[in-house]
Each structure stands twice: as structure tokens, then as C-alpha cells.
């Protein structure tokens, strides 16, 4: 790669102290972002796309670490490597939030049943279970539901609107029953999700 830059007439100082650290920084953003997405898909049981992401993650990492070894005496390379890792972590988490793939289990605990919330869930075709339970201060109502992650924020907003003091927990779900149906519903189309989010 250095021979290529020399052929293009780029000075050694510009190459070592600007371009190489920049390339390392960008490469680290790429491989760490891919790593975050790979883990997200793996947790959701998407076995087809995980190996592909793993391949590109490892390839980009090798390119970045190779440049580190070639510029071992350049402290900017180490700063670029660490900075790219930190930035890639942030970018990966942001992509995870934007794509909102997979499903979550939501538990809502309220002092009394919420018929308005039940009607809302029926209207939006949520599958749920509502049961009476015993809490520290007496009787409570416990509501279970599994939903797609991109529905979660609207649902929680509705819960807070109906019962401001409602207690809720959210957990990732790897698999649900009726797997064939849900697989067709949840099959990720990464490009379409990215473009649709970019338009909004």
C-alpha cells in the first residue's frame, strides 16, 4: 500500500502521520460496527448472515492491525486504532437501535388491570397474557407480551400515557413459538431498513 501512495506522489510524512492513521481509524469503525451487528443477528438466531459479517469483520481487522505493525513507531496509529474502536462501538449501537431487529419480551406491572391498554393491544394484534399477582404492597396486575423491537417505543409510550407509575421490564427474545411464521416476518433486509431509516 505504501508503494501505491509513493507512486501517487504522496509524501512520506503525509502518509505516516495523516493518511495511515485515518485509514486505521476508518477500518476500526468498520470492523467494530460489523461486530456489533454480528452479535445482534446472532442473538436473534439469524444463522445465514452471521458468518458473512464475521468474514468481513476479521478481514477488516487484519488490514487495520497490519498497518499498525507497519507503523509500529508511529503513536498516531495507536490513537487512531483506539479512537476507531470507540467510535465503531457508538456507530454499531446506533445502527442496532435504528434497525430494531428481533423481538422483545415486555412485562408491565400495574396496581390494577388496564382495560384501555388491553383494547390497544387487541387493536394492534399483540399477543399477550394478563394475570393477577401479589406484590409487596398487595394485589397487582401482571401483563406479558412479545413484540417486534420497532413496536416497543410506541407501546411503552402508550403504557406511560395510561398509567404513569407502571413498572415494566424489557428483555431480548431469541426465539418464539410458531417459528416458521415468525421467521418470515422477522427476516432482516438490512439494505431496506437502512434506506428507510435514512429517508425519515
Show which of 99, 131, 148 is a domain's final residue.
99
- Pair (107, 176) in one structural domain: yes
54 or 71, greater pLDDT: 54
Domain interval for residue 36: 2-99
Decide which of 12 and 29 is more confident.
Answer: 29
Q: State whether 61 and 137 are in the same domain.
A: no
Same structural domain for residues 51 and 119? Answer: no
Going by C-alpha positions, the residue among 57, 51, 198, 169 that lies closest to residue 109 is: 169
Would the pLDDT of 193 be above 70? no
Residues 151 and 93 in one domain: no
User: How many structural domains is the chain composed of?
Assistant: 2
- 170-199 CB burial, b ≥16 within 10 A, e <16: eeebeeeeeeeebeeebebeeeebeeeeee
Per-residue pLDDT of 17-54, as tens digits, reads: 677 888 889 988 998 999 988 887 887 677 788 899 89
86 and 108 housed in the same domain? no
Residues 12 and 84 both lie in one domain = yes
160 and 131 in a single domain? The answer is yes
Same domain, 77 and 159: no
State the pLDDT at residue 184. 42
Residues 125-169: pLDDT tens digits?
888 888 888 888 888 899 999 888 888 888 999 999 988 888 999
In terms of domains, do 40 and 52 share one? yes
If pLDDT is split at 50, 70 and 90, which confidence band does 4 have? low
* Together in a domain, 124 and 178: yes
Arithmetic mean of pLDDT over the chain: 79
Residues 6+ apart with CB under 8 A from 194: 98, 99
Please tell me whether residues 112 and 33 are part of one structural domain: no
At residue 185, the pLDDT reads 47
- What is the pTM assigned to this prediction? 0.58
Give the CATH number, domain containing residue 182. Answer: 3.30.70.120
Whether residues 135 and 179 share a domain: the answer is: yes
Contacts 24+ apart (CB under 8 A), 182-189: 182/103, 185/148, 186/44, 186/101, 186/102, 186/103, 186/148, 188/41, 188/46, 188/49, 188/99, 188/101
pLDDT value of position 8: 55
The confidence band for 85, taking pLDDT boundaries of 50, 70 and 90, is very high
Amino acid at each position: 500500500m505504501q508503494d501505491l501512495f509513493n507512486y501517487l506522489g504522496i509524501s512520506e510524512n503525509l502518509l505516516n502521520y495523516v493518511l495511515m492513521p485515518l485509514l486505521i481509524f476508518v477500518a476500526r469503525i468498520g470492523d467494530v460496527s460489523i461486530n456489533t451487528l454480528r452479535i445482534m443477528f446472532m442473538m436473534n438466531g439469524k444463522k445465514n448472515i452471521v458468518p458473512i459479517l464475521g468474514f468481513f469483520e476479521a478481514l477488516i481487522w487484519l488490514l487495520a492491525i497490519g498497518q499498525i505493525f507497519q507503523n509500529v513507531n508511529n503513536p498516531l496509529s495507536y490513537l487512531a486504532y483506539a479512537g476507531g474502536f470507540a467510535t465503531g462501538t457508538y456507530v454499531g449501537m446506533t445502527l442496532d437501535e435504528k434497525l430494531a431487529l428481533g423481538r422483545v419480551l415486555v412485562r408491565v406491572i400495574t396496581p390494577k388491570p388496564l382495560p384501555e391498554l388491553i383494547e390497544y393491544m387487541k387493536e394492534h394484534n399483540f399477543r399477550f397474557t394478563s394475570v393477577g399477582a401479589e406484590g409487596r404492597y398487595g394485589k397487582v396486575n401482571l401483563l406479558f407480551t412479545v413484540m417486534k423491537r420497532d413496536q416497543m417505543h410506541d407501546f411503552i409510550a402508550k403504557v406511560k400515557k395510561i398509567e404513569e407509575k407502571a413498572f415494566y421490564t424489557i428483555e431480548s427474545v431469541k426465539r418464539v413459538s410458531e417459528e416458521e411464521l415468525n421467521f418470515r416476518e422477522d427476516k432482516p433486509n438490512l439494505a431496506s431498513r437502512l434506506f428507510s431509516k435514512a429517508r425519515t
